[in-house]
Structure 1
Amino acid sequence: MSAPNPQDVKVLVVCLGNICRSPMGEAVLQHTAKQRGLDITVDSAGTAGYHVGDEPDERTTAVCKKNNVPIDSLARQVSTSDFVKFTHILAADENNLKHLQSMKPSNSTATVSLWGSYLDGKPIPDPYYGRASGFDDCFKQCVRLSDAFLDDVFGKEN
């Protein structure tokens, strides 16, 4: 099977509030894809609407900037139209995956999965209430997961 056209791949990264893990995942996946010469669409959202319209947590932004990864997003909540608009919806953890599966409409065309299923099956721990080092760990995990996802979708040569 040949790799899809990168422009046909549309990915939504999802966590709870869309201010820590998912905007970081969006930024890292977009950056990693560009480094590979792949022009894919990446967005992020939260299963909860706590922070709709907010910028990413300042610790998320700081870690991305420290690693020269551009980040520019505003929090939004997942909508049922996302299940048709995106080809892949990647959940940060099992709770968000369950929430996504419970709201998935019958006309969904997206593959909905735990992002970690592309690598080691591990969730991305929420760094929000922890130390700054948790954001560094989250970033490193997003890099590994981005590589694993892109390898799976496009093959290791891309």
Structure 2
Amino acid sequence: MAPSNDSSEVKVLVVCLGNICRSPMGEAVLQHIAKERGLNITVDSAGTAGYHVGEEPDERTVATCKKHGVPIGSHARQVATSDFLKFTHILASDENNLRNLQSVKPGNATASVRLWGSYLDGLPIPDPYYGKANGFENVYQQCVRLSNAFLDDVFGSKDS
């Protein structure tokens, strides 16, 4: 059954701390799965901190996406006040980033700001930066599950 919502209006920002590991992977995976499902949504990513502005994603993030055939090509940027008006959904990778987002969210914000895991199991996406390569694979698999849960929630289940 075709989704009843107008997918052209869904604009998602995936957010982590530095925008080089979790959020660019989440952006790439969500965009890829939406495209596979025939949904035309806008997806971007950003960090709550500006540590890596202008940098490409971590090489382990890129390698994990390439391993799964998921295109990735973003550059790190920091969340801007305008993002709260530009996007319909802002998805935080963990509770710390959710708190950071809520602390800078302007009073006229129109975006729904939630923990991405709240669409499925309530779990945060752990930061794989200081861990081993399998941490990036685990984040990838979590992003796949969360992408499907988010799209099911916004557009209706793919099985309906």
TM-score normalised according to structure 1 size: 0.98
Could you say which residue in structure 2 is the equivalent of 1:118? 119
Unaligned runs of 5+ in 2: none
Q: In the TM superposition, what whole-angstrom CA distance separates every residue of 1:22-49 from its partner, at most 9, and x where no partner exists?
A: 0000000000000000000000000000
Aligned structure 1 segments of 4 or more residues deviating by more than 3 angstroms: none
Could you say which residue in structure 2 is the equivalent of 1:55? 56
Could you say which residue in structure 2 is the equivalent of 1:129? 130
**1:3 to partner: Cα distance:** 3.6
Could you say which residue in structure 2 is the equivalent of 1:149? 150
The answer on whether the counterparts of 1:47 and 1:99 sit within 8 Å (CA) in structure 2 is: yes
1:11 aligns to 2:12 (yes or no) = yes
Could you say which residue in structure 2 is the equivalent of 1:84? 85
3-state secondary structure, aligned to 2:12: strand
Structure-1 separation of matches of 2:107 and 2:98: 16
- Return the letter of the residue paired with 1:8: E
Structure-1 separation of matches of 2:88 and 2:73: 22
RMSD of aligned alpha carbons: 0.9
**1:157 to partner: Cα distance:** 2.9
Structure-1 separation of matches of 2:40 and 2:116: 20
- Return the letter of the residue paired with 1:154: F
- Return the letter of the residue paired with 2:5: P
Unaligned runs of 5+ in 1: none
Q: In the TM superposition, what whole-angstrom CA distance separates every residue of 1:55-108 from its partner, at most 9, and x where no partner exists?
A: 000000000000000001000000000000000000000000000000000110
Structure-2 separation of matches of 1:59 and 1:137: 12
- Return the letter of the residue paired with 1:82: D
Could you say which residue in structure 2 is the equivalent of 1:22? 23
The answer on whether the counterparts of 1:3 and 1:153 sit within 8 Å (CA) in structure 2 is: no
Structure-2 separation of matches of 1:117 and 1:4: 21
Taking only the aligned residue pairs, the percentage that are identical comes to 75
